[in-house]
Structure 1
Amino acid sequence: MMIKQDVCDIDTPTGTMRCYLYRPDAEGQFSTIIFYSEIFQQTAPIARAAAMLAGHGFVVLVPEVFHELNPIGTVLAYDDAGKDKGNEDKFTKYLEHHDSDTQALVEFAHRQAFCTSHVGAMGVCIGGHLAYRAALNSDVVGAFCLYPTDIHSNTLPCNDGNDSLSRTADIQGELMLIFGKQDPHVSGEGRKVIYDKLSETGRLFSWQEVNGQHAFMRDEGDRYDPALALQMYQQAVAFFHRVLR
């Protein structure tokens, strides 16, 4: 499908959040995917990924995940300075503020004439964690989480007992989690912690470990695996067509 793009500024309890909107250039209503970026916010690879999803018949919302901590429109570079700033932001923003961002995005989608009531979440790296976290929201019925970081280690700031791993039992929607076995950010032991918690709490989830490094989806840099990325896009599209029907 051909797509159209727009930019929206959404009010949240912690300030204005810039959001990039991608949707089919066609009449009708389409289900929504909230697509959470890496720590660098909406870079060119993230924009291309969002366009890919929208072209398969979804409204895709890409929020600036650290909107409180940067000027609107900030994009961090894939270099040491960008990585340092992104990680500083990651360890500054509380998960509760990500929760209120997700609620604002859900409410925004529900107000749009071109959106159905069905909302899912997808993300890469910290965005994979935020997609997992978004599934705590009862309006988010499915989450596709690519190499999510910091779930197993509980290293993101939050109120006591409100970390994402501890809250796993509160997830009602379906999850799909994908990890690279060569990803140094989430070791085999870390992956087992997440898998065991999902199993112990009886969540509805699918699990896949692939021969890939961290950020294998990012179509810039040495770790990009085009064949593996294509496989993941196909799986994500099939997953969302099913759970957001």
Structure 2
Amino acid sequence: MMVKQEVHDIPTNTGLMRTYLYRPKEDGVFATIIFYSEIFQQTAPIARAAAILAGHGFVVLVPEVFHELNPIGTILAYDDAGKDKGNEDKFAKPLETHDSDVEALVSFARSQEFCTSQVGSMGVCIGGHLAYRAALNPDVSAAFCLYATDIHSNTLPCQVGNDSLSRTQDIQGELVMVWGKQDPHVSGEGRKLIYAKLEEADRNFTWLEVNAEHAFMRDGADRYDPALAMQMYAQAVDFFHRLLR
């Protein structure tokens, strides 16, 4: 399918959230995927990833994950300054405000005439964590999480006991968890901790560890693996088609 793009500023509890919307050009109603970026917000690789998903028959919403902390439309560069600012934002925004952002995104999607009521989430890096976190919302029935950071370490600000790992039992939908074995951001021990929690909570999940480094999905990066990225897109599309009919 060919894809068209829109831009919406969605009201949230903490201000307007610039959200980039991708959807098929043809008429119809489609399930929604909330696609969470890295700390850099909607860079060119993230926009291309969203378009790939939309071209397979989905409405894809890419929110600015740190909208409260930056001017609307902020895109951070893939350099040391951008990385420092993105990490500063990551550790400044409480997880509870990400939760209210999800509520706003679900409400927005369900108010659109071209969206069904079905919503899933997907993300890379911190976005993988936010996709996992979004699945705490019962309206999000499927989450595809790629090399999700900070779940195992509980390093993001939140109220005591409200970290994403501790809340795993509240996930009702199905998960796919994808990890790079050579990713230094989530060690083998960290992955084992998350796996054990999912097992303990008896969640419905698929676990996949691949021979790849962090950010292997980001085209143009040194660590980009095009063949593996293509496999992940195919798996994500099949996953969402199955669960978001």
- Given the two structures, how large is their TM-score scaled by the length of structure 1? 1.00
Alignment-derived partner of residue 135 in structure 2: 135
Give 1:88's aligned amino acid. E
Give 1:72's aligned amino acid. I
**Distance in structure 1 (CA, Å) of the matches to 2:3 and 2:16:** 25
Query: How many residue pairs align between the two structures?
Result: 245
% identical aligned pairs = 79
**SS in structure 2 at match of 1:118:** strand
Alignment-derived partner of residue 80 in structure 1: 80
What does 1:1-245 align with in structure 2 at a 5 Å threshold? Answer: 1-245=1-245
1:138-186 CA-to-partner distances (Å, cap 9, x unmatched) read: 1000000000000000000000100000000000000000000000000
1:67-94 CA-to-partner distances (Å, cap 9, x unmatched) read: 0000000000000000000000000000
Shift of 1:220: 1.7
**Distance in structure 1 (CA, Å) of the matches to 2:243 and 2:188:** 28
1:40-90 CA-to-partner distances (Å, cap 9, x unmatched) read: 000000000000000000000000000000000000000000000000000
**SS in structure 1 at match of 2:73:** coil
Query: Structure 2 stretches of 5 or more lacking a match?
Result: none
**Distance in structure 1 (CA, Å) of the matches to 2:219 and 2:113:** 33
**SS in structure 2 at match of 1:82:** helix
**Distance in structure 1 (CA, Å) of the matches to 2:33 and 2:240:** 8
**Distance in structure 2 (CA, Å) of the matches to 1:201 and 1:56:** 32
1:192-226 CA-to-partner distances (Å, cap 9, x unmatched) read: 00000000010000000000000000002200000
Shift of 1:28: 1.1
Give 1:81's aligned amino acid. A
1:114-154 CA-to-partner distances (Å, cap 9, x unmatched) read: 00000000000000000000000010000000000000000
Give 1:8's aligned amino acid. H
- Given the two structures, how large is their TM-score scaled by the length of structure 2? 1.00
**Distance in structure 2 (CA, Å) of the matches to 1:34 and 1:221:** 23
**Distance in structure 1 (CA, Å) of the matches to 2:221 and 2:180:** 16
Give 1:23's aligned amino acid. R
